[in-house]
Amino acid sequence: MQRSAVIILSLACLGDLRNINRDNFKMLLSPKYPRAGDLFNVTFRVTSTDDLPEDCTSIDQVYMQSKKGENLTVHILNNTALYHNASSAVAVVANGALEYEALCNGASLTGVSPMIGAKLENIDFNCICWVSGDMVCTFSKPQFDKKEGYYRANFTLHREGQGTPTTCSYKDKSETQVECKLTIEPLTTLTLSLNMTDDGGEQGLTFNVSQQESIMMDALTEWMRLNHTSNSICLSFKNELQSEYNVNAIEWSVYLTDHNHTFQSINNTSEYETNVDIICVWELLYPHYSYTFDIKRRANSKAPWSPSFVHSFSTAAALPSGPPLVWPSGYELNLDEGTLSVYWQQLDELKHNGENFTYNVSVQNNNKNNRSLIKHVKIDIRPSQAIISKLNMKSGSYIIIIRSQNEIGVSENSSEIVVEMSPEPYKLMPRNVTLTEKLLVWAEPQRTDQLQSYTVFWCKLNGTNHRKCNDTLSIMSEQVVHTKCSFMKEGFGDGTFIWAVSANYGSGSGSGGMRWMNPLYTEVHHEYHGGMIDSLKALTALVVLVVVTYAVIRRCRFMSNIGVDLPEGLFKELELNTAEQPSPKEAHEKTTDLVNAPEMTLELLTDFRPHDDFTAQTQLPVNEGYLKMDPQQVNAEYKFLTSQGRTITALGYCSTTQMFSDYK
């Protein structure tokens, strides 16, 4: 019974909503076509309170919502109307979606989707008058909400005193820029009225336009180059303005760029008799370098700038600005190959000043009376070094002269390296150059007198040969005091550098040159194809060794079998001498007395050839003269000296002969 009552009540309510005459509900805008930024009212009206739904007994129960579902503030006018104050910052196109809706108890009564028109104000109206007499005025179409649909407006431009307005058109497909064209007389001031017509009606703006202030000079086209040197250029332009314009008021905008700098202080002059304007730029920084002109002009200070005249050019070539930087000890002596390598820091590209850039290297004798050029040498020139061969590598003094060279010629100045040849250059070179994770370390040279400093060199590895410098980059360097034998640099141990150290000595002392951690400019072949030849060489050497060894053995055996016939009395004399020899104790005491003798020397004679670091003769304090000792006597002497606490250093050993020295 209760369920039936609920169903009947629901059907009654639905029936009541279906019987609502929505024509009795109105949603009105005031004004009817509001503009963006204007305030307007949205008003709900019902013909009579009787036309409201049965569950909506009065106007108090009616409320408004936005399309986002937000409740809006409303004000009651009377028992049949209420309104909401609204505004819109942008123009909106009516597209059927309800922007404002009136409801009662959750049920929609009516709604409205207003069109908010664009307002013609604060537009970027600009007119340009060309020398031909045509005037073109442009501006941007007023903004509207593009997301809501398409908004169209028509524009006309009316010149005061002109009968028919000029119809404006859109400049582009996006219809954001509007263009209006007029034909006017020179030196006139115009009053222009711009009108916009849309669904909201017509709006208008008035502009006063002076042709004097809107004249646009054409882009420069007729020009010629007056001069062109390694540091200057002049261009002349024909002034095509009509005589009635004030050419004295013309302003120029001249920019010269070299891709890194912009020059604004550029001189220009005008020759009014011939209507020629001349633009000159002096003291340009670099010969054989690309620059770009950007030149504009305007008829007066209030007129718009003309389109740019853009002209790119290169200054004329000249001799290189100077030689490369060198280091006094920046060379490497390779005695095995008979070559001298000199290094330099590559000249900055901006100082090449011409095409076909390279370096010019020559060698002279370092003779005060005769600094003659050495012509027979062979010189291989590379971007950062020159390899010189066919020199006397053991003696002599040379001056290596290095200049920069391009298509014009060689640089006026030169860099020089003095190389003093020595049979033992390694004594003037740092030793044991080693790279750790954090430091480059080395040992001081063997010769340290007049040592003043060290120079540390490093270069980037070659991409394909890791024992060569990358020739596209300069060799870098840094000075280190002579009391310090280490160097540290950021990114030290990343494995992308090759390192070298040289020692710098005082005047006249020369230098041994650079010692690289790894030999530079020596090809490293990862694939070797000479294995067969090397195998044959090794086999030949082995055969020769076997033959020589066999011959020596046979010779010794043959000599051991040689018999000698001696006189019969000689054996008796030998036996007598043997009987007269002292006992071992007496011999030992005699030797001890000889060792303690302070001013006598004993030289052990032997056929042993010692190492270069050892002396060829071993001396002990003995009586005058020389005493040859057999192995038993040497061993006895050695045991006795060590038993007395004396330090014995053995210098060598060959067959049954020993050599030693007593240092205490």
| 453 band by pLDDT with thresholds 50, 70 and 90 | very high
Flag whether pLDDT at 240 surpasses 50. Answer: yes
> Residue 423 corresponds to which tokens in the numbers above?
């049979």
More confident residue, 541 or 273: 541
Q: Residue 297: in which H helix or E strand, if any?
A: strand 290-298
Q: 548-559: per-residue pLDDT in tens?
A: 888 888 777 766
- Has residue 35 been placed in a domain? yes
pLDDT tens digits, 107-162: 889 998 888 888 888 888 988 887 767 888 999 888 765 544 556 788 999 888 77
The CATH number assigned to the domain holding 79 equals 2.60.40
Taking the C-alpha atoms of residue 270 and residue 280, their distance in angstroms, rounded to an integer, is 11
Contact 434, 442 (CB under 8 A): yes
Q: Tens of pLDDT along 584-617?
A: 555 545 444 444 444 333 333 333 333 333 333 3
Tokens standing for residue 375? 């012509």
> Does residue 547 fall inside a structural domain?
no
pLDDT at residue number 496: 76
CA distance 460 to 389: 26
Average pLDDT (639-648) is 56
Domain finish residue from 112, 139, 174: 112
pLDDT score recorded for residue 592: 44
Whether the predicted pLDDT of 100 surpasses 80: yes
Domain edge (last residue) among 197, 214, 231: 214
CA 36 to chain CA mean position, Å: 53
Residue 579 has pLDDT above 80, yes or no: no
Residues 330 and 462 in one domain: yes
Is 540 among the domain residues? no
Query: Are 200 and 288 part of one and the same domain?
Result: no
- Verify that 232 and 281 share a domain, yes or no: yes
Beta-sheet strands, E only, within 67-188 = 71-72, 75-78, 81-87, 100-104, 107-112, 126-130, 134-140, 154-159, 166-167, 169-170, 177-183
Question: Of the ranges 243-247, 314-318, 320-324, which is most confident?
Answer: 320-324
Q: Final residue of a domain: which of 182, 199, 214?
A: 214
- Whether 279 contacts 296, CB under 8 Å: no
pLDDT of 218 reads: 78
Structural domain boundaries, residue 611: 583-662
Average pLDDT, the chain: 76
Same domain, 239 and 106: no
What's the rounded mean pLDDT across residues 322-341?
Answer: 93
Q: How many angstroms from the chain centroid is the CA of residue 88?
A: 53
In this prediction, residues 316-330 reach a mean pLDDT of 94
The yes-or-no verdict on residue 312 having pLDDT over 80 is yes
Q: Is 10 inside any structural domain? A: no
- Contact indicator for 327, 342 with CB cutoff of 8 Å: no
Q: Which pLDDT score, from 0 to 100, does residue 637 have?
A: 57
Contact 235/278 with Cβ under 8 angstroms? yes
Tokens of 261: 């700098």
**256 assigned to some structural domain:** yes
Average pLDDT rounded to a whole number, residues 36-62: 89
Q: What pLDDT shows up at residue 554?
A: 78
Task: Please check whether residue 108 lies inside any domain of the structure.
Answer: yes
**Is 362 in the same domain as 500?**
yes
Q: In whole angstroms, how far apart are CA 444 and each of 40, 167, 426, 429, 440?
A: 94, 92, 11, 8, 13
Lowest mean pLDDT among 47-56, 277-286, 355-364, 390-399: 277-286
Tell me: do 362 and 289 sit in the same domain: no
Q: Which residues of 483-510 are buried (b: 16+ CB within 10 A; e: fewer)?
A: eebebeeeebeeeebbbbbbbbbeeeeb
pLDDT (0 to 100) of residue 94: 64
Rounded to whole angstroms, the Cα distance separating 233 from 331 reads: 43
Please, how many CA atoms are within 13 Å of residue 266, restricted to the half-sphere of its CB? Answer: 23
pLDDT value of residue 38: 85
378 pLDDT above the threshold of 90: yes
Query: Are residues 476 and 373 located together in one domain of the fold?
Result: yes
- Does the pLDDT of residue 247 top 90, yes or no? no
What pLDDT was estimated at residue 144?
65
What are 287's two structure tokens? 């010969």
At 617 the pLDDT is: 36
CA distance 431 to 433: 6
The verdict on 261 and 238 lying in the same domain is yes
Q: What is the CATH number of the domain that holds 175?
A: 2.60.40.10
Q: What confidence score (pLDDT) does residue 96 get?
A: 61
| Residue burial 123-133, b: 16+ Cβ < 10 Å; e: rest | bebebebeeee
Q: 443: helix, coil or strand?
A: strand
* Domain shared by 194 and 81, yes or no: no
- Both 334 and 453 in a single domain? yes
Domain assignment present for residue 522? The answer is no
Q: Are residues 340 and 259 in the same domain?
A: no
* Local confidence band at 57 (pLDDT 50, 70, 90 cut-offs): confident
How confident is residue 72, by pLDDT bands cut at 50, 70 and 90?
A: very high
Q: Where does the pLDDT of residue 4 fall: very low under 50, low under 70, confident under 90, or very high at 90 and above?
A: very low
Res 625 pLDDT > 60: no
Average pLDDT over residues 468-472: 78
* 475: pLDDT strictly greater than 50: yes
For residue 618, which of 604, 628, 606, 632 has the smallest C-alpha distance?
604
The structure tokens listed for 191 are 């009053």
Kindly give, in sequence order, each residue whose CB lies less than 8 Å from that of residue 277, ignoring residues fewer than 6 positions away: 236, 237, 238, 239, 250, 252, 268, 269, 270, 271, 297
Q: Which two tokens stand for residue 521?
A: 């400019």
Structure tokens at 441: 């370390």
Would you state the pLDDT for residue 238?
77
- 494 shares its domain with 373: yes
Question: What is the model's pLDDT at position 537?
Answer: 64
Q: Residue type at 563?
A: G
Answer yes or no: is 568 within a domain. Answer: no
Give the list of residues 6+ apart from residue 342 with CB closer than 8 angstroms, or none: 326, 330, 331, 361, 385, 386, 388, 400, 402, 417, 419
The number of distinct structural domains making up the chain is 5
Percent of the chain residues topping a pLDDT of 70: 69
> According to the model, what pLDDT value does residue 643 have?
64
The whole-number average pLDDT for the span 620-633 is 41
Of 645 and 650, the one with more pLDDT:
645
pLDDT for 132 equals 67
